[in-house]
Amino acid sequence: MTSLDAKIIGRSKPAVDLKKMISLIASSDSPVIVNGPTGSGKELVAEALHEESRRKGAFVALNCAAIPSELMEAEIFGFEKGAFTGALKTTPGKFEQAHKGTLFLDEIGDMPPSLQTKLLRVLENSTISRVGSSKEIKLDVRIVCATHKDLNSMVSEKVFREDLLFRLNVFPIDVPDLNKRQEDIPELLNHFIRLKTKGDASRTPKFDDDAIAALKGYHWPGNIREMRNIVERSIMFFPSKSVSAQDVNDYLLRVNSGIISRTEEQSAIWEEFDNLSFAQSTEGRQDTDYIPTPADFSKLFDTQNSIDMRRLLRDIEIVLIEAAMDRNGGNTSEAAKDLKLLRTTLIEKVKKYGL
């Protein structure tokens, strides 16, 4: 896997085309505008451009929508000591911090008109002046901008400078919506789960095929950011458990308070199931080696109003497969013998449950 593949996850055509575009223009020093909907990963694209460019300076990010307009000039260009109340020492701005590197201006459409003029000047002569100083500082900075707004419409409405747009829009990159990359969803899901759980199996949820299908059929208004949220919910609600399509729809795509009673109910069922292993044998004695019979499972209704049969059977399969694989050091042939399964059947189940 290349560094770009590690940054931009996916093998769908839109994802592959995006990576090709990044590779093609990374070595240029010209400005880039990254267009895409909220949550689609525009900053990741900017980071990938910087890493692939091999520029020696830092990657510096600034969200133009997160800083009050009266403070933005000092934040971007820096300021001299005494330039304004509170300016206790000379401070370099984002441009200077990004010298020899990349400055990422997120939500460029929210930049005030007065600063648009000053940014245009920087693009024309590669120099900046700190607030409170007339001294010009020559810099080598590549500018990458991002926006979810239609800058052409903003130009027509005279809220964004047309000449600035021309200077910035040398290399436009369009980041696709997640709903146009449905085949990437399993890979993205596994990627974020690995990042969050750090490989801890006790925290890792296991998505069934029907759960993956439910995620692929979703329209993803929040894009990649929404997927991260769903992964966090799945780790919290279903640690080391199977996740079905119903779970996806009821508890992950939206947070239903029923997850509380559902979790409590499943825990109670497993507690009762644990008790079955110490049930009375047919000779009326306690036998810790006793394996529950199918008839024993009917006793669960003595304490439970309902049982998610498919989930319980899946969980039992997973527990037994994991135990057999651990016992045999991951040898599928020996584990299959212990489980009285064909090796190919065991391999299919391992893949199905993501074990």
Comparison of pLDDT for 88 and 217, the residue scoring more: 217
Inform me whether the pLDDT recorded for 26 exceeds 70.
yes
Q: What is the distance in angstroms between the CA of the first residue and the CA of the last residue of the chain?
A: 22
Do 266 and 321 sit in the same domain of this protein? yes
In whole angstroms, what is the distance from residue 3 CA to residue 215 CA? 27
Inform me whether the pLDDT recorded for 354 exceeds 90.
no
Mean pLDDT across 89-115:
94
* CATH number, position 60: 3.40.50.300
Of the candidate ranges 47-56, 108-117, 182-191, 235-244, the one whose mean pLDDT is the lowest:
235-244
pLDDT tens digits for range 144-183: 999 999 999 999 999 999 999 999 999 999 999 999 999 9
Do 208 and 319 sit in the same domain of this protein? yes
Mean pLDDT across 183-192:
95
Mean pLDDT across 347-354:
78
Q: Which pair of structure tokens corresponds to residue 337?
A: 């013998």
Confidence label for 68 from pLDDT (cuts 50, 70 and 90) = confident
Do 231 and 185 sit in the same domain of this protein? yes
Of the candidate ranges 211-225, 266-280, 320-334, the one whose mean pLDDT is the lowest:
266-280
Do 124 and 137 sit in the same domain of this protein? yes
In whole angstroms, what is the distance from residue 205 CA to residue 247 CA? 12
Range of the domain at 236: 180-353
Inform me whether the pLDDT recorded for 5 exceeds 60.
yes
Q: Look at the chain and report how many structural domains it folds into.
A: 2
Do 270 and 343 sit in the same domain of this protein? yes
Q: Which pair of structure tokens corresponds to residue 296?
A: 């024993």
Do 196 and 317 sit in the same domain of this protein? yes
Confidence label for 263 from pLDDT (cuts 50, 70 and 90) = low
Comparison of pLDDT for 219 and 2, the residue scoring more: 219
Whether 126 and 98 have beta carbons less than 8 Å apart is answered as no
Q: Which of 176, 191, 226 is the last residue of a domain?
A: 176
Phi, psi of 79 (to 5 degrees): -155, 155
Mean pLDDT across 78-87:
84
Confidence label for 282 from pLDDT (cuts 50, 70 and 90) = very low
Mean pLDDT across 72-86:
88
Do 140 and 185 sit in the same domain of this protein? no
Do 159 and 270 sit in the same domain of this protein? no
pLDDT tens digits for range 335-344: 888 888 888 8
**CA angle, 62 as apex, 61 and 67 as ends, to 5°?**
160
Do 196 and 274 sit in the same domain of this protein? yes
Q: What is the pLDDT of residue 283?
A: 47
In whole angstroms, what is the distance from residue 324 CA to residue 347 CA? 13
Q: Which of 120, 154, 176 is the last residue of a domain?
A: 176
Inform me whether the pLDDT recorded for 274 exceeds 70.
no
Instruction: Give the single-character DSSP code of 176.
Output: P
Inform me whether the pLDDT recorded for 256 exceeds 80.
no
Mean pLDDT across 200-211:
90
* CATH number, position 224: 1.10.8.60
Phi/psi-derived region of residue 100, left when phi > 0, alpha when psi is between -120 and 50, beta in every other case: left
Comparison of pLDDT for 154 and 281, the residue scoring more: 154
Mean pLDDT across 104-133:
93
Do 171 and 190 sit in the same domain of this protein? no
pLDDT tens digits for range 311-337: 777 778 888 888 888 888 888 888 888
Do 208 and 265 sit in the same domain of this protein? yes
**Helices 42-53 and 13-25 meet at what angle, rounded to 10?**
40
Do 344 and 243 sit in the same domain of this protein? yes
Q: Which of 176, 197, 232 is the last residue of a domain?
A: 176
